[in-house]
Amino acid sequence: MFMMSGVRAAFFRFMEGVGVWVYDDPNKWEKGNPWDILVLDKSLYRDLFLGLEVGFMRAYTRNKWMCRDLEQLAQRLYTNGAPKPKGRSRLWFAIPLCRYYLLPTLFQKLGFNPQNLWRSKRAVAAHYDMLEALIQPMLGDEYMVYSCADFRPDTYAPERDLDCTLEQAQERKIENLCRKLRLKPYDRVLDIGCGYGDVLAYIVENCSVQGVGITLSRAQFSIACERHARLIAEGRLEFRVQDYRDIPFGEMFDKVVSVGMLEHVGRANLWRYMYDVYCLLEDGGLALVHSITSKESQFLQNPWIRTDIFRDSFLPSLAQVDAAAAELLELRNTEELPYQYAYTLREWRKRYHGALDTPRFWSRLVGAFGGPRAREKSRMWDIYLAFCAAAFALKHISVHQWVFSKGQLGEPYAYEPYRRAAVRESEQSIHA
């Protein structure tokens, strides 16, 4: 009892320090700010004692606390620094500090690779296969692309195009990928981490290339084969359940694209990943890598994300990516997509909330997880989308695209970026 009261007092101090008030009384909570917290179950403090932020997030999924505006709560935590134990408060949270920070860091420094081949397969199955019932409803049917869209009116505009739908933003992103890769007819293109295959299918369909997509997710592989059966039957597109480390030696490609996969490679494997891209590219070939990035080079990131959402995930910094590619690949272009993932996540969350009201969604969720866990998984997904949107909105984390070449190009690298005005003018001339 004494220990839990100490944890409770420390938790209240942490939250008040970042402008968030914690209530036990629903009537007082309703009169407070949208980002304030209402404690529904006092076992929350035990969860904090055992898991700190992991326990805090898991307690939400188990309906032990609630908040009217999760994204605003997350913004206050990120803006002021998510509360970390200091001084004597560290004693109350010694267990989670050791479990989620000290021991994993020590193991990695001793040479343990959390993204080895066996663990990578298990991590992919835990997210993309097990959580597929949560992912599909928010993506939509036109483009099942589980990565950041591009809502900018053109490449150099910082603001969002308010008229742009999620589908148009995803197509805009893919079109820019095509332009950056400088694709030519009959190029052979490899997509590492192809997901549901829509990015590669668009490239094959619109650029007259041959495509090979690899994924470790059997659920994504099945959906990709079903969605793009025509291109597969025509011999223009191939999907494989395969790790990038298992591609046969000597198989070569003119272009390599990898969208939203580098986060699963891991710190210990970054150089190996770049070396494999180097070996897979023909001389003069181009590779485009699109990834979420962290501000600083670290061993570990958010423990809840890497344990409950993207198991064993790792967000590389710009310095880590540059160091891994050095002496292997020539850097031709780097671009940051400011705030685009925040817009994407908000659109996904809006669609997800819409799906929550449909019996079809709940029947799928109950079928996937069982009745008791369906509600828990739905709340987990909601707080994941909200907190990630806040992190991107504040540039706590970001998204970058790199274009690399294998050796020298025959001419200076350049590409014509997407411009909404130019596209609309060409559409008007076509229909005139």
Tell me, what's the pLDDT at 15? 85
Does 388 participate in catalysis according to the annotation?
yes
pLDDT in tens, 339-386: 899 999 999 999 999 999 899 999 989 988 888 899 999 999 999 999
Among candidate residues 185, 176, 251, the one with its CA nearest the CA of residue 214: 251
Q: Which of 109, 140, 169 is the last residue of a domain?
A: 109
User: Is pLDDT above 70 for 122?
Assistant: yes
Query: Do residues 235 and 325 share a domain?
Result: yes
Per-residue pLDDT band for 8 (boundaries 50, 70, 90) equals confident
Query: Do residues 126 and 104 share a domain?
Result: no
Tell me, what's the pLDDT at 10? 78
Strands 188-192 and 253-259 come out as: parallel
Query: Do residues 135 and 99 share a domain?
Result: no
Q: Give percent of the chain with pLDDT exceeding 90.
A: 60
Query: Do residues 81 and 102 share a domain?
Result: yes
Q: Looking at the DSSP assignment, which residues form a beta bridge with residue 212?
A: 190, 238
User: Is pLDDT above 80 for 228?
Assistant: yes
Query: Do residues 228 and 163 share a domain?
Result: yes
pLDDT in tens, 302-339: 889 988 999 888 899 999 999 999 989 999 999 998 78
Query: Do residues 156 and 205 share a domain?
Result: yes
Per-residue pLDDT band for 94 (boundaries 50, 70, 90) equals low
Chain-centre distance for alpha carbon 354? 21
The larger pLDDT score, comparing residue 5 to residue 251, is at: 251
- Which one of the listed residues 148, 164, 178, 388 is annotated catalytic? 388
Query: Do residues 224 and 289 share a domain?
Result: yes
Q: Which of 109, 135, 164 is the last residue of a domain?
A: 109
Least confident window among 51-55, 92-96, 222-226: 92-96
Query: Do residues 74 and 126 share a domain?
Result: no
Query: Do residues 408 and 294 share a domain?
Result: yes
Q: Which domain holds residue 17?
A: 2-109
Contacts of 277-281 with CB under 8 Å at 24 or more apart are 277/192, 277/328, 277/329, 277/404, 278/328, 278/329, 278/406, 279/249, 280/190, 280/247, 280/251, 280/252, 280/253, 280/256, 281/252, 281/253, 281/254, 281/255, 281/256, 281/406
Phi/psi at 338 (5° precision): -65, 125
Query: Do residues 60 and 184 share a domain?
Result: no
Query: Do residues 70 and 143 share a domain?
Result: no
In whole angstroms, how far apart are CA 348 and each of 199, 251, 432?
Answer: 18, 37, 36
Yes or no: say if 75 and 394 are a contact pair by the CB < 8 Å rule. yes
**DSSP line for 364-389:** HHHHHH-HHHHHHHHHHHHHHHHHHH
Work out the mean pLDDT of the chain and round it to a whole number.
Answer: 87
For the beta sheet containing 65-67, the strands, ordered from the edge strand earlier in sequence to the opposite edge, are 22-23, 37-39, 65-67
369 CB neighbour count, 10 Å cutoff: 18
Tell me, what's the pLDDT at 88? 53
Which residue is associated with the tokens 């990630």? 388
**Mean pLDDT along residues 395-406:** 95
Q: Which of 109, 130, 155 is the last residue of a domain?
A: 109
Distance CA 308, CA 24 (A): 27
Phi/psi at 258 (5° precision): -145, 110
Paired tokens of 22 = 């914690």
The CATH number given to whatever domain includes residue 146 is 3.40.50.150
pLDDT in tens, 235-252: 999 999 999 999 998 999
Q: Record the pTM.
A: 0.90
Domain count, the chain: 2
Least confident window among 50-59, 94-103, 292-301: 94-103
Distance CA 395, CA 393 (A): 6
**Mean pLDDT along residues 269-276:** 96
Query: Do residues 136 and 71 share a domain?
Result: no
